[in-house]
Structure formats: C-alpha cells, structure tokens
C-alpha cells in the first residue's frame, strides 16, 4: 500500500501498535501526538510525527488530513474531543470527494471503542456477544460511548466511510493501563466477583485487525462494528490476578466488595465478545496463544519498560 494514514494518539499503547502495523503493511503513516519527546521514536520507526499542543487543534494539520485515505481515532471516547476529531475527518472527506461527487476518494474513519460498551451482559450468561447484540450500558459514561458509536456509524456517507472497532482487553508489550493498574497493587487485591470474565487480545493481533479493515473493500467495512478479541481467551478475573501475582512476586489478598470501593461498576460484569465476523469477513486470525499462558513473558516486558521509563525520567532531572 502507498496510501496515507493518520493515527490520532500514535504514541499511546494501542495507537502506537496500530501505527507500527500500518507502516509495516506499507502505508505512509502520520502520527498525531502531543509530546515532542516521542517524535524521535516515531521517526525511527518510519512514522511521520505531527506534534500538536492539543488534538483539537485540527486546523494545524488539515493539509495532511486531506491526503489520508484512512483516519484512525486511537484516543478512545472523550466527550470533549471525539466529536472534534470526527468533524475534522468529515471536513477532510468533503474536500477529498468534492462534497461527495467523487465518492471513490472518500476516506475511512476508524473509531476505537471497547467491549465495556456492552455493559451488563448478565442476561446472556457466558454467551459471547456479537456485533448484533445491542449494548445495555449501566453507567452514564458507557451510555455516552454507545451513543457516540451510533453517531459515528450513521455519519457514514459518500464523503466519509466510518467503522467502529471494539477491542477486548489488550495485552502485550508494555501492557497499557491494565498492567499498570494490576501490577502496581502491593499486595494484589482480588475484590468483587472472582468469576467475571473479559475477552483479551494481544496488541499485535489487534493491530493486524486494524490493517485488515484499512485494506478491506469499503462496502465490507463501512457502517460496521467489529469485535476484535481472541476466541476463548477469557480467563476469570481470579485466574488473571493469581497468574499476574505469580509472575511478579506479588502476594494476594482477597477482599469483599463494599459500597466504598472505587472499582468502576462497568468492571464488575462479564465482557466476552465473539470475533467471528472479523474472522469470516476479514480473514483475521489471532496468533498469540493467550494472556495467562505466557504471563511471565508479558510481565518481563512490562517491567523492563517501567525500568527504562524510570531511568529516562531520572536523567531528565
């Protein structure tokens, strides 16, 4: 591929994985970031950084946006920003297509959501959720995200094709916020439901899904939702915490959930998704065997990243 792609949040955990995979696939990749400290790393990996004070300063990179056939929002849903990024993509699409007359030049906008959008899945038991099951969000935050997903999809037009990806919990590399959250606890506290299950996906497998969607024929992906998680990789919360503690040397403490707990309500439900649609229509096949199966490898990677980051921060003092 020689087309241009722009990734919002290209230095983030998921955004960087996506940007690297798109570049490996042959796209010319622009990475929009807010911290110039990450520019060198992006350049070393053949990604062209666009440094902005804030992602909502879209006018400052409008020229690059117009050049792009694919635009990826890897920032995730935020009330203050998401609509701004979508509107910037719409404006670019209108210019590329001359207000829809040249619809074959319409870019694809990919919004990164998440499986927590499904909300309370109790009524389905452990049956994996596919994209045709309407979410039942039980927090205002997730309700807003579902509404925004719908807004993105109904925006699909001759000027801009749109699609939504709902990744499972992401692991691999430095592990993202889930690894930070769980490994930072000393001891490892297992609270709430011990048998709740979430779907997981390795960052490289997830990024491959983005590449396949970016390269797919637009009628296949436009206006669609895609669940991306490894089939059957949904261990219980207790299994996850025990294995993480074993790998890191943490002790374990069990705690009953109380009304004062700060654990978000959305985290205390099963979130198991069905990725068959992506497997059948995109040929997507996760290659990693599972999160807890290679937990020692993932802990070592996370720990090495944290030590390197601490050393860099120390040198800045």
Residue partners of 78: CB distance under 8 A and separation at least 6? none
pLDDT attached to residue 252: 93
Structure tokens belonging to residue 157: 């037009």
The Cα–Cα gap between 30 and 18 comes to 11
Average pLDDT over residues 174-187: 88
**Residue 198: pLDDT band with limits 50, 70, 90:** very high
pLDDT in tens, 48-76: 999 998 888 899 999 999 999 999 999 99
**Residue 127: pLDDT band with limits 50, 70, 90:** confident
pLDDT attached to residue 121: 81
Averaged pLDDT score across all residues of the chain: 92
Structure tokens belonging to residue 42: 């992006």
Q: Answer whether 55's CB lies under 8 Å from 65's CB.
A: no
pLDDT attached to residue 181: 87
Average pLDDT over residues 169-192: 89
pLDDT in tens, 77-97: 998 899 999 999 999 999 999
Say what angle helices 295-316 and 176-183 make with each other, to 10 degrees: 90
The Cα–Cα gap between 280 and 86 comes to 28
In the predicted structure, residue 260 carries a pLDDT above the cut 70: no
Helix (H) or strand (E) holding 227: strand 224-228
Longest dimension (CA), the chain: 63
């Amino acid at each position: 591929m020689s087309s241009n792609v722009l990734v919002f949040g290209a230095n983030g955990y998921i955004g960087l994985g996506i940007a690297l995979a798109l570049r490996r696939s042959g796209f010319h990749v622009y990475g929009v970031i807010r911290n110039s400290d990450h520019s060198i790393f992006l350049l070393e990996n053949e990604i062209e950084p666009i440094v902005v004070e804030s992602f909502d300063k879209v006018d400052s990179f409008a020229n690059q946006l117009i050049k792009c056939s694919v635009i990826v929002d890897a920032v995730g849903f935020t009330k203050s920003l998401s609509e701004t990024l979508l509107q910037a993509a719409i404006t670019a699409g209108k210019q590329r297509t001359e207000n829809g007359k040249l619809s074959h030049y319409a870019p694809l906008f990919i919004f990164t959501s998440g499986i927590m959008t499904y909300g309370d899945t109790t009524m389905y038991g452990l049956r994996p959720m596919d994209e045709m099951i309407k979410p039942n969000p039980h927090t205002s935050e997730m309700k807003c995200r579902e509404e925004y997903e719908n807004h993105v999809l109904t925006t699909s037009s001759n000027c801009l094709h749109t699609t939504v990806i709902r990744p499972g919990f992401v692991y691999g590399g430095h592990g993202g916020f889930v690894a930070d959250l769980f490994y930072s606890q000393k001891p490892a506290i297992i609270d709430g439901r011990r048998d709740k299950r979430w779907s997981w996906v390795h960052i490289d497998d997830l990024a491959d899904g983005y590449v396949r969607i970016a390269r797919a024929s637009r009628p296949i992906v436009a206006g669609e939702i895609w669940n991306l998680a490894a089939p059957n990789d949904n261990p219980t919360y207790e299994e996850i915490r025990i294995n993480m503690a074993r790998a890191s040397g943490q002790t374990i403490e069990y705690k009953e959930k109380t009304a004062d707990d700060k654990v978000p309500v959305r985290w205390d439900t099963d979130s198991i998704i069905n990725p068959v649609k992506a497997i059948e229509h995109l040929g997507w096949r996760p290659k990693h065997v599972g999160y807890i199966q290679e937990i020692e490898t993932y802990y070592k990677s996370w720990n090495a990243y944290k030590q390197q980051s601490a050393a860099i921060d120390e040198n800045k003092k």
